[in-house]
Structure 1
């Protein structure tokens, strides 16, 4: 499970309350999180000795599938809603002045199919960074790269100062000798071939080189003036780097997996849209694929689902009606309302920040968390049986043991997937 370090005082400000260690530990437990460490004592001890020390941090363990909790913005937002201090935010796309005809476009070249075929973009307008929010923005990208992106193998994120660039953009794949630009934190221009040799000696980037190194073409993103934005999944350009003075952020996401592409671009855009002049608004971009198909990204559609109080009650032992269930689900940032035509139905809209909600059982789990696991009634099961393994299970265990003794390694594949709402290009 990922551990997210957040600034303690910053979190208290966002929650509007200073919690004691016991209170905060209990709050996290009720929400389904765990406090791994509080560095307050270490910081105070260092300061007493006259040593330099950072501000106290809280290290919070979050579920691996809750990508919306990988930054202080997401954690604070979810806890505020859970505590009833605000309603779930409504994320929406806002087109630039002039409407869709003035939307930023990005053309995807046919050659990208050889290496990373999927592309998505988004824009955060009139954003205002502080040192801490800027650091959180960078840290979220790193957390996503290590988590859902599988160390940039499936997805890579690039963020740029839009005011240094000139749309429209093009996403291409070119031979490494034909790519030349000044990479992030460098002052000279290098070809992609030269960069591969340079980064072999830099630990933080060397681990990603194998993703594209042996490919005849490398992914590359240009603006209208052929200025390089990024060579995903390795490095961004120095030209368009983000700073504290950046006001308009251009987000590019390249991927080999369409579902993960949609999840990642949604999370990065929605988490930091609260810093926009109009909070929770994102400016979309238009992707133009080689076959002429077009797609607007990000897709912030709320996914409609249905929850039934009878099902939730059967799993939890509760006796909830539809209005009560709807209130519980809103505490978990879901949009829920009772169906007036059916007393056993609650209409639920899943926000783009919750890709972990895939079935009604996930909604049931959220309802149980909102109600409080410790508050669920203790009941004995209606039947009593003596468990024993099936004959097939016995045979499987014997085979597993023998294969393990012979030196084989058992692998459990990732079989749970979510069907993306994005059409394939």
Structure 2
């Protein structure tokens, strides 16, 4: 779950009242959040002293609040306060509108065909006549970072660029060029560098190095220029220094480039809805026009409202309560889902705002109603249907075998389901292509590169780590292995395997042979042609 840090005093001022820590913790719980931690930090402030200024320091209290990963509208102070105020019925949920400039001249962003090689989609919008303070500016930047880490998947799906519109001139062009042909002064850099020089520089940067891999191997890098050839940004890496926003910025041009257009629309909607509150006309966003390579014209942000209809009886049944339709509609309205009862008195019409991209199915609406009602207020009751739970046959068999293997003198091991490529290939004499393993796309360590295809490496590693233990070592494991399978919807399938190892100074095959016979006896499998047979292995894993 993402964690949002907010200053306590600033939060209470925005909420219009103060709470004790226990009261605010309870409020968060009621709203479906969790107050994870309360900390303090030193903040440097400037104080007037005589006719000059002196620096001072002050302790500020920080609330760290855990937010559900799909609630992008709660990732900043603005959205959090707005949600809590609507929940406590102090304000009504705002209505977000898309407007056009008085002269009807929209800012335009042209996308060229070259972007298809690296990052084909883009959306844009303008926050006109916005007023920043230090706190609002920090929240604006922090929201972008939160979105980059969350829905944007560390900028791989979407990258956000924000620019001072008064320092640049439209129309804008989103294109892609070879890195050697890109030169500009990047954000917070003192001189112009080529794209290749920047990428080399950012490989060593503790923050930026995590994004370099996204485009470094591409033949072209995405770039955005204004009408005068000023480079605004090189997404998803860095913005240009020329158009950076400051506390004095009055008009903000926002562009989101993406590999996933749906995610880009959501990200743009979240940013503009959260901070349009500070525009001269609150909760209004100036539209921008995006022209595709084929000439198709799209207007963004969409700020789309949609309506869903759901029966009150269905909602009550799923939650386990008995509320009237009007009461349920009120509960949903408190969750920023404006709702009302239809003429039949049984159906509820729910309006989904552009800030609630997490509302996908009926179950999401029911969940919000349950949160607003309060989980602690749902009375416990016995189920109306009588059922008896049973283990899956495979799991039941596994548990029975574990007990008998332990009774045979073997100790159970539980090893990691992930391992290195070498563990399932070179170390056991199998080529990587023959291993049929499911690979992890972005492994954090060399020890967890693939899902295991056999249990043997894990047991051998366990023995290697326990060589100082008294001999003999008799280990077994019954767990799943993963094999690639294109016929499955997830591209892989699980198989339950059993593996046993006997390690001694002078090990004898009769120990493992006896264990195998015991397992077959328990499974009622007889030796012979119609049952099981022991044959010499032709693989390189076993050495004669």
Task: Note whether the superposition's TM-score is higher than 0.5.
Answer: yes
1:248 to 251, 264, 267: 251
1:276 to 274, 279, 288: 279
The alignment covers a number of residue pairs equal to: 404
- CA shift for structure 1 position 218: 0.2
1:405 to 434, 438, 455: 455
- CA shift for structure 1 position 207: 1.3
Give the match's secondary structure for 1:196.
Answer: helix
Matched with 1:59 is: 64
Q: Which ranges in structure 2 are unaligned for 5 or more consecutive residues?
A: 44-55, 402-415, 418-451, 459-479, 491-544
- For residues 203 and 219 of structure 2, the distance between their equivalents in structure 1, rounded to whole angstroms, comes to 18
- For residues 67 and 198 of structure 2, the distance between their equivalents in structure 1, rounded to whole angstroms, comes to 36
Q: Do residues 301 (structure 1) and 309 (structure 2) align?
A: no
Closer, same or farther: CA 277–216 of 1 in aligned 2, 3 Å: same
- For residues 239 and 43 of structure 1, the distance between their equivalents in structure 2, rounded to whole angstroms, comes to 32
- For residues 358 and 188 of structure 1, the distance between their equivalents in structure 2, rounded to whole angstroms, comes to 47
Matched with 1:316 is: 319
Give the match's secondary structure for 1:327.
Answer: helix
Pairing of 1:307-346 with structure 2 (within 5 A): 307-340=310-343, 342-346=344-348
1:110 to 110, 113, 117: 113
Closer, same or farther: CA 262–392 of 1 in aligned 2, 3 Å: farther
Closer, same or farther: CA 16–382 of 1 in aligned 2, 3 Å: same
Matched with 2:170 is: 167
Matched with 1:178 is: 181
What do the CA deviations read for 1:250-286 (whole angstroms, capped 9, x no partner)?
Answer: 1110010122111111111111111111111111111
Pairing of 1:23-422 with structure 2 (within 5 A): 23-40=23-40, 52-99=57-104, 102-340=105-343, 342-391=344-393, 403=453, 405-406=455-456
- CA shift for structure 1 position 394: 6.6
Give the match's secondary structure for 2:60.
Answer: coil
- For residues 396 and 134 of structure 2, the distance between their equivalents in structure 1, rounded to whole angstroms, comes to 58
- CA shift for structure 1 position 66: 0.5
- CA shift for structure 1 position 323: 1.6
Higher relative contact order (CA 8 A, sep 6+): 1
- For residues 139 and 27 of structure 2, the distance between their equivalents in structure 1, rounded to whole angstroms, comes to 23
- CA shift for structure 1 position 346: 1.0
- For residues 159 and 489 of structure 2, the distance between their equivalents in structure 1, rounded to whole angstroms, comes to 20
Closer, same or farther: CA 141–26 of 1 in aligned 2, 3 Å: same
- CA shift for structure 1 position 403: 4.6
- For residues 260 and 94 of structure 1, the distance between their equivalents in structure 2, rounded to whole angstroms, comes to 22
* TM-score of the two chains, using structure 2 as the length reference: 0.71
Larger radius of gyration: 2
CA contact (8 A) 1:43 1:56 kept: no
Across the aligned residues of Structure 1 and Structure 2, the Cα RMSD in angstroms comes to 2.5
- For residues 325 and 397 of structure 2, the distance between their equivalents in structure 1, rounded to whole angstroms, comes to 46
- For residues 235 and 396 of structure 1, the distance between their equivalents in structure 2, rounded to whole angstroms, comes to 53
Matched with 2:445 is: none
- For residues 61 and 350 of structure 2, the distance between their equivalents in structure 1, rounded to whole angstroms, comes to 39
- For residues 315 and 152 of structure 1, the distance between their equivalents in structure 2, rounded to whole angstroms, comes to 37
- For residues 208 and 104 of structure 1, the distance between their equivalents in structure 2, rounded to whole angstroms, comes to 29
Give the match's secondary structure for 1:78.
Answer: helix
Matched with 2:15 is: 15
Give the match's secondary structure for 1:204.
Answer: coil
- For residues 34 and 375 of structure 1, the distance between their equivalents in structure 2, rounded to whole angstroms, comes to 18
- For residues 275 and 414 of structure 1, the distance between their equivalents in structure 2, rounded to whole angstroms, comes to 46
CA contact (8 A) 2:455 2:481 kept: no
- CA shift for structure 1 position 339: 1.1
CA contact (8 A) 2:332 2:338 kept: yes
- CA shift for structure 1 position 405: 3.0
Matched with 2:430 is: none
Matched with 2:448 is: none
- CA shift for structure 1 position 52: 4.2
Q: Which has the higher helix share?
A: 1
* TM-score of the two chains, using structure 1 as the length reference: 0.90
Closer, same or farther: CA 414–281 of 1 in aligned 2, 3 Å: farther
- CA shift for structure 1 position 319: 1.8
What do the CA deviations read for 1:179-212 (whole angstroms, capped 9, x no partner)?
Answer: 1111000121111111111212212111111100
